Each structure stands twice: as C-alpha cells, then as structure tokens.
Amino acid sequence: MRDPLKTLLVRRLGLPKLLLVIAVIIYFAFGLFHLTTFISFDEHYWLYNPENDRIHQYWQAIADRDWEDTRINDKPGVTLAWVSGVALLFEDDAATQVKFTDGNVKIFDPSKTELVNLKYRLPILILVGLSAFYFFWILKKILANEWTALWAVTLMLLSPVLLGMSQIVNPDSLFWIFGAASFFTFVAFVQSPARKLGILASILFGLAMASKYVAIIFLPFFFFTLLAWLLFDFEQWKNKLADFPGRIIVIFSSYLGIIAGGLLLFCLMMPAVFVKWKYFYEGTIGFPGMEPIFWSVMFLSALILLDAWLSKSRALIWMLDKLQPLRQVLPRLVSGVLLASFVFVLINWMFRHRLLDLSEIPYDMKRKEGFDELPYLHRFFLEVAPMAFGLTPLAVLSLLYLWVKTVVGKVARPFLVFLFSAFFLIFYVAVIEQGLLVTIRYSIILFPLSLVLSAMALEEFFVSKKQGAAESGWRIEWNMLLFAFIGALLFAFFAIVAVEQKKIVDETMMQWFYDFHRGWSYVIVIGGSGLLTGAAYWILVVLSRLRIAPLVLAVGVIAFSLPSLFSIAPYYFSYTSDMLPKKYTLTGTWGYGGYEAAQYLNALPNAENLIVWSDSYGVCEFFVGKCIRKQKVKIDRYPIDYYVRSSKPQLNPNFPHPMYPQPVWNIAIDGRAKNFVKVYQAADPNKSVAKQDDWGM
C-alpha cells in the first residue's frame, strides 16, 4: 500500500469511473457559472410569483387536497414541481422579490431574483449531474463496453445545449433526462430481461410522462424496439426455439406491465386525472395522432401473446424467418436517409441556401404559417437543421461517419444503430404530421440518443479491430469517398469562418464559394477539397490503424468538447455550431443578455430613478429602478427613459413613443446579429426621432 490514494481511485473506482467523476466536475464548473443571472422564456410561469405560479400552485393544491388543481399545465410539468419544488423548503424569496408595484410599474430586488434562480435551478442542475452515473451504468449494460459508455455520457455532460437546458426551470429540462433514461433502460431490459430493469423502465417512463405528455411516443416506440430486437436477434434463437415462446410471453407481458406501471405513476403524481378522466385521456391515448397507434399496438401485442400461448409462436417464427433479409436492408436504409438529409442540410446552410432556399423559415417559432404547404422534403430538411447545427462538430462528424459505415460496410452493433437512428425518423415524421416546426428545445430528446451514436462511432473508428478491408467490410474506394466528403465540408467550413470573421478575405471575394453559377467556384471548391482530402485521408488512415488507448480517447473527448463550451459560455443553450454562417440562428436569445442590459442601466447615473420599458422577462428583475413590461403604458405618469428590445420579444409594443434610432448598448449572443438585446434611449416626445419600425434587427 505504497500509494493508497491511487489504489482507491484507480484500482477500486476504475479509470472509466474516475474520468466520469472528472467530467461531472467539469459539468458543474460550467453549469454553476451564470446560473442565476438570466431568466429564460416561460420560467415566469413556474416561479417568481407565489400567488399563481405553477410550482406553488401544485403544492398548494396538494396541501388543500384540491386534486383537480394539480393539473398545473398542459405539459404537464409535474416533475418540475417535485424537483424545483425543493426550493419551497427554504425561505420563499419570490414573495419579497418585488419591492414596489403601481399597476404595470415595478421595482425588483435583484439580489432576491438571484436567490430565487439559485434555489429553483440548482436542484435540476444537480439531478442532471447525478443522472450521469445512471446513464453510465445503463449504457454499460447496453453497449457491453464501459469505455464507450463513458464517451457517450461525457458527450452528454459537455454538450452545450444539454448543459444549457439543465440550467432552466422548464419541463424539457427533466423530460430529456427521464425520457432518455427510460428508453435506454427498456433497451437494456429487452437485451437481458431482469425484474429490476423492468421496474426501473416503468418508473422512468412514468416520470417522463409526468414531465411532458409527448413522452407517450415511447409507448409505440417500446413496441417497435421489441419487434426490432426480435428481427435482429432471431438468428440466436434458431437452435433453441423451444425457449422462444416463453421469452416472448415474458417480454411482451412485461412491456404491457411497464407501460401500465408508468401510466399509474403519472396518475399518482397528477391526481387531477382521478377527478376528470379527460386529463388522463388527453395526455395519453388522446394525444394528437396517438389513439389509432395505441389501439393498433395493443391489438398486435395481444395477437403476439396469443400466438405464443396457443401455438408456440409459430406464426411469429415464420414471419421473422421470412423477414430476415431486412436485417441487412433496414440499417442501411435508415442510415442512408439520415446521412443524405444531414449532408444536404449541412452543405445547403453552409453555402447560404444556394441549393434550396429555406432561409425565410425562422427557428424561433414553434409553428410557421404556410409550413404545411411546403413540399414534404423541404419540411423534413427544416426539421433536421436544429440537430445538424445544434450538435458539436465532433458529435456531428462522428454521426456521419457511423451512418456512412453502416451504409457501405459493417458495424459492430447494427441493432442499436438501426434502433436509435429509426427514432430520429419516427420523431421527424411525427412532428411533420402535426405541422410542428421543431426548435432545439422541442427536439431535445434526440440529443442524448445522437451522442450515444457518436460514442459508438468513436469505438468503430478507433477501437474496433481492423483485419483488412475484406473482413471489416470497407473498401478503399469508400474510404476515399468518405474522406473526400469530410474534406469538402472542412474546406467549406474554413471558408465560411474566413468570411464571417473577415480575417482572410472579404465578402466580395468569397462570393466565388457561394455563387454556383460561376465556373471558378467549382475549381476553388474542388481544388481546396482535394488538398484537404488528401491530408485528411492519410492522417485518418494512420489513426485508424493505431490502437488508440481508450483512456487517451476519453481525454480527447473531453478536450474536443471544451472549445465548444468555451465558445458559447455562459449562454450555453444558444449554442450553434460554427458550421452555420453567423447570419443564421437556430434559437433566440432565450432570455440571455437581459442581465447584462440591466447591469448597463444600473451603472447609469441616478439609475434608481430611471424608468425602463422591456419587451421580455429578464431585464426588470435585475434592474434597480422602475421597470415596465406591459404594452399599456401611462407615459404621462411614468415617462420612459430607456427601452430594451430583444430578438424574440414576448411583447409587441404598439405605441409611437420616440427614441433615438441607434442603440446605446447592445449584445449579440454567439456573435449572431439576430440574437440581440439592445438598449435604446428615449427621445423628446415632442420630436419624432424614431418609431418602433425603425428599430433594426
């Protein structure tokens, strides 16, 4: 025992677990930074007002036994009341946050605002950090490799979007945790049925349902998972078909039990369903488009169970045997569709919509008038864009590599690649059918799944044995095509960065890269891509021949994730890959920048006596003077000194009060001009200086 610390941390804890602890520490270091100094959209519905906000309402309803009032929202967001509701055990600073009120005019106590934010957000941040250990445990069971599980969880912890989501009091902050955990647990249960896994899957499904009704999508997708497992695992059962019917009875009965148990937990957490049945129906079976799917799944489950009981699964065995060729087709088909979609979106957006102009569709809206009238393929590309540019470059390039290899070669886990990738397609089809243009937040459940696929890609490239092109399923021609594509993307990326930062050439010269009608564009792109492709090909071939130690790769995952976090810190949820030109954005300011605007105003002379109007939450709460956040303003009593406008306002000021046309202060989140917060100084009301329409975007 010459080194007891090393024995404890390395030999007993193990290197993967030790690195996981380090990743969790990094997560908290970034997550605690700026945790209290912003207010995101919709958070005011959940906290800040003890009289009618949703978290107070839930626990007041429980205390009063007013069960119907436990339906606090149509999300339903009940898990938020349980997790963030821990704040109610301490002094209720929300009750004293407002120091002065006169109609629409208020004065806030900024120190109380920060205390409220800390108490309600910290439990979510801690829960996400601790969930990393559960994800590591369950993914180790699914992937049968603790290093791959470590890479996946590290990518989740250090994903700017997931980290940013974990700082916000919003149902999606918990939905992605419970939704992903329930899905991973169910997959582990299918692979190796164990009672504790079934119970965990049921509990987590119930928690996902109590977070957002959209979790009902797992009801048919769990069934889909069972069918996919049967198809891919059938070869293993051919020599022991006598045991097959028993296994079918166990897993399909357990599936129904998992769903029933999850729905029961959801009901217990939101007792309003016992008062009005429609609350249960609308959130489950009656969820838009779910009723026919629900009854179809129940009918097919009953048929499969009857076939197992009455005829030893003869019909199912016959069908699985006939469908075996699909094992080779389906992974390639799904991966090919996603690969083509992501590649097109990346290239089209990087070259500023020169292939297909979809630039007029904003991503800060849930619905867009005329969205349903667009061609189906156009809508599909629009749904893909938030993921393509919301993932870090390491994650998205790993995804593309995995899908390319699935299409043209062989992968170690075709079942998991197909299953996780199929969820993407099913999700996108579902939201298109609902006429919903998803934002980053509404597609948050796809992030943990995509990062697990990215970790699998890293294993495929760096760790899987390579015993020659014939055995690995690769051909040199496919390698060249893959790396040519990577080279083209890298070259386009560097060209765009050069334009945006204006460090190498100006916009006029770079039109060659964007204007496909000029012949020189092809020469430049092909020539530059060729040079990068040649270098990339030989570097990656050498790397692929090396046996990179898993420890080195784990450190590399952390090292390559940190630049993305640093580049956007502290505005994590507004992260957008630099592969997207700066003129575009995928999210609004999401409440960021309001604190900084308030700090500018607080530094002005006599700030306590100033009157400010803001179009969004997140400014008034940090400002020391009088603040107005309503459209009806009595300027004769409260003449406004400054106006604050954001890129995604919650209010639309329809009043012609003059202000100077140029802002006195502004901030552009992530350097994207459309993600702004601006402060305008009011002008003499007797002089027409500038109106609302003059405020530049």
Nearest-angstrom CA–CA distance, 455 and 399: 9
165: tokens are 């989501």
665 membership: H or E segment, kind and range: strand 665-668
Residue 548 or 344, more confident:
344
Query: In DSSP terms, which residues pair with 646 in a beta bridge?
Result: 677
Task: Centre a 10 Å sphere on the Cβ of residue 531 and count the other Cβ atoms it contains.
Answer: 12
How many Cβ atoms from other residues are within 10 Å of residue 439's Cβ? 19
Output the pLDDT for position 356: 83
pLDDT at residue number 667: 94
In this prediction, residues 56-69 reach a mean pLDDT of 93
Pairing of strands 676-681, 642-646: antiparallel
Confidence of residue 468 (pLDDT cuts 50, 70, 90): very low
Q: Which residues pair with 212 in a beta bridge?
A: 76
pLDDT in tens, 121-173: 999 999 999 999 999 999 999 999 999 999 999 999 999 999 999 999 999 99
Grade residue 533 by pLDDT with cuts at 50, 70 and 90. Answer: low
The H-or-E segment that residue 476 falls in is: helix 476-501
Phi, psi of 659 (to 5 degrees): -150, 160
Per-residue confidence (pLDDT) for residue 165, from 0 to 100 = 95
Give the residue, 656 or 255, on which the prediction is more confident: 255
Higher pLDDT: 265 or 637? It is: 265
How far is the CA of 137 from the CAs of 140, 146, 185, 256, in angstroms? 5, 8, 10, 25
pLDDT confidence tier of residue 337, bands split at 50, 70 and 90: very high
Q: What is the pLDDT of residue 473?
A: 38
Confidence grade of residue 680 (pLDDT, cut at 50, 70, 90): very high
Q: Residue 471: its pLDDT value, please?
A: 36
Average pLDDT, the chain: 84
Residue 543 is predicted with a pLDDT of 55
Question: What residues have CB less than 8 Å from 535, skipping those under 6 apart?
Answer: 487
Residue 621 in tokens: 């709460």
Percent of the chain's residues with pLDDT above 70: 82
Q: Is residue 476's pLDDT more than 60?
A: no
Rounded-to-integer distance, Cα 314 and Cα 300, Å: 15
In this predicted model, what pLDDT tens digit does every residue of 163-206 receive, in sequence order? 999 999 999 999 999 999 999 999 999 999 999 999 999 999 99
pLDDT above 50: residue 493: yes
Using DSSP, state whether 135 is helix, strand or coil. helix
Average pLDDT over residues 519-544: 54
Selected residue with higher pLDDT from 585 and 331 = 331
Q: Mean pLDDT across the stretch 498-515?
A: 48
**Edge-to-edge strand order for the sheet containing 626-628?**
98-102, 105-108, 626-628, 611-614, 642-646, 676-681, 665-668
Closest by CA position to 351, among listed 525, 576, 581: 581
Residues 6+ apart with CB under 8 A from 485: 343, 400, 404
Q: What is the DSSP letter of 679?
A: E
- pLDDT at 538 exceeding the cut of 60: no
What pLDDT band is residue 518 in, cutting at 50, 70 and 90?
very low
Backbone angles phi, psi at 614, to 5 degrees: -125, 140
More confident residue, 98 or 586: 98
DSSP state of 682: B
Q: What was the pLDDT predicted at 547?
A: 56
pLDDT of 171:
94
Please report the beta strands in 65-125, taking only residues with DSSP state E, as ranges in sequence order: 98-102, 105-108
Per-residue model confidence (pLDDT) at position 331 = 94
The single-letter code of the amino acid at 180 is A
State residue 474's pLDDT score.
41
Do residues 642 and 626 make contact, with C-beta atoms less than 8 angstroms apart?
A: no
Give the pLDDT band (50/70/90) at residue 462.
confident
* CA count, 13 A, side-chain hemisphere, 630: 12
Mean pLDDT of 212-229: 95
Lowest mean pLDDT among 355-369, 489-503, 603-617: 489-503
The pLDDT > 90 percentage for the chain reads: 57
Residue 489: predicted pLDDT? 60
Rounded to 10 degrees, the C-alpha dihedral 658/659/662/666 comes to: -130
Compute the average pLDDT of residues 298-316.
93
Residue 684 has what pLDDT?
A: 72
3-state SS, residue 50: coil
The residue-averaged pLDDT of 4-17 equals 64
More confident residue, 685 or 510: 685
Q: What is the arithmetic mean of pLDDT over 575-601? A: 88
Q: pLDDT grade, residue 84 (50/70/90)?
A: very high
Over range 318-335, report the average pLDDT: 93
The closest alpha carbon to 454, from 127, 172, 130, 150, belongs to 150
The per-residue pLDDT for 349 is: 86
Greater pLDDT, 632 or 608: 608
